[in-house]
A and B are shown apart, each in its own frame.
Chain A
Amino acid sequence: MLVKALSGSKKYWGWITVLLALSGAGLACYLWQLQQGLTITGMSRDVSWGLYIGQFTFLVGVAASAVMVVLPYYLHNVKVFGRITILGEFLAVAAIIMCLLFVIVDLGKPMRLFNMIFYPTPNSILFWDMVVLNGYLLLNIIVGWHALEAEYKGVAPPSWTRYLVYISIPWAVSIHTVTAFLYAGLPGRHYWLTAIMAARFLASAFASGPALLILLCYIIKRVSKFDPGREAIQKLAAIVTYATIISVFFVGLELFTAFYSQVPAHGMDSLTYLFVGLEGHGKLVPWMWTFVVLAVLALVLLINPVTRGKDGYLLLACGAVFIAMWIEKGIGLVIGGFVPNAFERVTEYIPTLPEALIALGIWAAGFLILTILYKIAIAVKEETV
């Protein structure tokens, strides 16, 4: 089936070339980082994680959201999702690969990566994150590929893959729970030390992932003969709506706890830094208000059934959800946790150009994988239509 990725239109190859060029630029910057060290990034001893770990965290959510098409189809027999489960699974594969790449580029000593396996340390949440992420990657590759191969041959998928699907459902929840625990278990980081961290992560994941899937469905409809189906998209839109509402509600809960209790140790300082600035530092303020505006816009468009049902508005809303959640989780959450530092001082963080190019390169590599996987899946589906 892989061969299907090798025949495509000029536009297809043009897109592939763009992605390869961006990945190449990222790789070149990464080689420079390997040589110079992480000094070429904007990270510091106070903000010791930045863009890379932020993207990692956000993309774990995108990966986990595959469960939002798999679960309704397999457990609730929502037939319309049958056509797009493969899209969710392949999106998860691409997202997890991006996650792993983002962790690797963040390491000071990437050549020692396997120390995590040589010296397994179960008390470290990072160890468990490695286990669940790699397991989820494997599950989705196996299930997705077998389902597609079966469709290609016009037979039912092997029955044992069904058990892997059932395992993958709680597993999807686990990857984002464990990733939230990376943050929620640290004594000195007030903004992260919240019991609803995992719930927040899951809610924003189930908003941003399906929103991206809707956008991808529209693109697929445009560039191929395969139509994911209006009903499937509308069902996904309903999921995005609920998840966005819950997600914004959770952010509100954090704001209430911090500002009504007035306890600085409940994240008040970090939230102040993020939304209005602290001690004259406010580089993230415009970002956070962009998040607020986009989230409100998305909610207005999604909750109203008339606009949710119209293609143009739905696309706009999904774009807004995706960007809003990316800002909230991929930027605000990670950096906000480091401000103020252990000495109650504010150190700001701005990624450098090479750092941004490395991040962009990984996104490009991820979309390259996604494009190839989707190309194969759609080619198979076009034949069977």
Chain B
Amino acid sequence: METSRRNFLKAGGACLLGLSLWPAVRVLAGDGPDVKADAGALKGKRWGLVIDMRKCWPQYQQGCRDCMLACRREHNIPVIDNKDEEVKWLWTEPYKNAFPEQEHAYTPAAIADKPFLVACNHCDNPPCVRVCPTKATFKRPDGIVTMDYHRCLGCRYCMAACPYGARSFNFQDPRPFIKEENLDYPTREKGVVEKCNFCAERLDKGQQPACVEACRVGALIFGDLDDPNSEVRKILAERNTIRRKPELGTHPSIYYLV
């Protein structure tokens, strides 16, 4: 059979139309997710974390790194020596670097030189979610800002958008750099971004975040910011806390007691 140019174009057009209908077909034909939520899952409207650095420092000075090590084990975080390509979820920064706007020449020495735990702030108004072109970074209904590592393009727009330096990119295959692998959490491939996820996978099983559970002195307090009776809300009501870069309108969910 001769195919005229006209017929070829017609067939091509029909095929294209079919392709564009495909997502709709999938939605209509699918019967929804077959994963059921755990009955014991922790439920919150907006998870938040209060970090009491005064409790932390004496331990930290004695070499305690329990929270960071627990986080690394839980999430298969690679240990990469090269500072430029480090993957960091939870780490420390000096006061003047973590709170550049609050630091002044006469900051008490008891604070100025001390390390502060920093991580993704799980902003209520997260710029990383706003800029992501594929919704690979998204905010869950419980306020956690998390990622789908399988959808991420590796465009790194979120890294440009995050004002807290909380995002890391896998410049190379991270798997050879994982010390001990936790089979309950995925490892990542090269070319995707990652960051702290407030242990969403543990909350869904009814557990506290790994760093909170690991802390021996209770310096990390996790809870629902939306619940006036939660422990975090009680602390926030009683004591003065600070947040990182509040002037940017991102509304971080991590509060610091200093």
- Enumerate chain A interface residues (CB-CB to B < 8 A): 36-39, 43-46, 48-49, 103, 106-110, 112-113, 115-116, 118-119, 121, 123-127, 130, 182, 185-189, 337-338, 341-345, 347
Contacts and interface: CB of A to CB of B under 8 A. Distances in A.
B139 to A, nearest CB: 12
Interface in B59-105: 83-86, 88, 93, 96-98, 100
Interface residues of B, number: 49
B171 A38 contact: yes
A124 B130 contact: yes
Contact of A187 (B23, B163, B173, B191): B163
Given A49-B156, A109-B192, A119 B151 contact: yes
Given A108-B191, A342-B163, A126 B170 contact: no
B190 A130 contact: no
Contact of B160 (A48, A118, A121): A48
B97 A107 contact: no
A115 B161 contact: no
Nearest to A112: B153
B208 interface: no
Interface of B: 23, 83-86, 88, 93, 96-98, 100, 127, 130-136, 151-157, 159-165, 167-173, 189-193, 245, 248-250
Looking at chain A's contact residues, the main secondary structure is loop
A108 B133 contact: no
A103 to B, nearest CB: 8
Given A45-B86, A343-B100, A188 B162 contact: yes
A19 B86 CA distance: 37
A312 to B, nearest CB: 42
Given A49-B160, A188-B162, A344-B100, A109 B131 contact: no
A337 B250 CA distance: 19
Nearest to B20: A117
Nearest to A126: B133
B169 A108 contact: yes
B152 A124 contact: no
Nearest to B101: A265
